[in-house]
């Protein structure tokens, strides 16, 4: 079945260090979305990438969509304690219209 995997599963960084999470799909994705879930909270939409090789930035966050549209990454520069949470990528199913979420990367930022 369709799978969206993320690595790493957990990441601990010192405040100020950079962080990257990678998302890999077993199939080509028409688009990919990224969500952030704070501890005890619900997933919140961050961004959507559609084009092959697309790169988008939101302040310290940089999102990339692979050329083959089977992988994506989220890079955070100079992490802050407010970046703590779990980051999920989500890609559309091959059939139907729902999104399948990746396994998530839990980020801990040590002050």
Answer yes or no whether residue 85 interacts with other proteins by CB under 8 A.
no
In the bound complex, what is the minimum distance in angstroms from residue 48's beta carbon to other proteins? Answer: 7
Answer yes or no whether residue 27 interacts with other proteins by CB under 8 A.
no
**CB proximity list for 6: less than 8 A, separation 6 or greater:** 21, 22, 23, 24, 87, 88, 89, 102, 103, 104, 105
CB 108 within 8 A of CB 10: yes
Could you tell me how far CA 96 lies from the centroid of its own chain? 22
Window 54-83: residues binding other proteins (CB under 8 A): none
Which of these ranges, 19-27, 52-60, 69-77, 101-109, lies near other proteins under the rule CB under 8 A? 101-109
Q: Which residues bind other proteins (CB under 8 A)?
A: 30-31, 33, 41-45, 48, 50, 88, 90, 92-93, 95-104
């Amino acid at each position: 079945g369709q799978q969206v995997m993320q690595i790493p599963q957990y990441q601990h960084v010192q405040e100020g260090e950079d962080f990257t999470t990678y998302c890999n799909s077993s199939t080509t994705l028409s688009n990919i979305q990224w969500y952030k879930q704070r501890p005890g909270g619900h997933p919140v939409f961050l961004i959507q990438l559609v084009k092959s090789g697309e790169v988008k930035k939101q302040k310290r966050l940089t999102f990339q969509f692979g050329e083959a549209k089977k992988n994506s990454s989220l890079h955070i520069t100079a992490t802050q304690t407010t970046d703590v949470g779990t980051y999920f990528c989500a890609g559309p199913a091959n059939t139907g219209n729902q999104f399948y979420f990746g396994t998530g990367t839990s980020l801990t930022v040590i002050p």
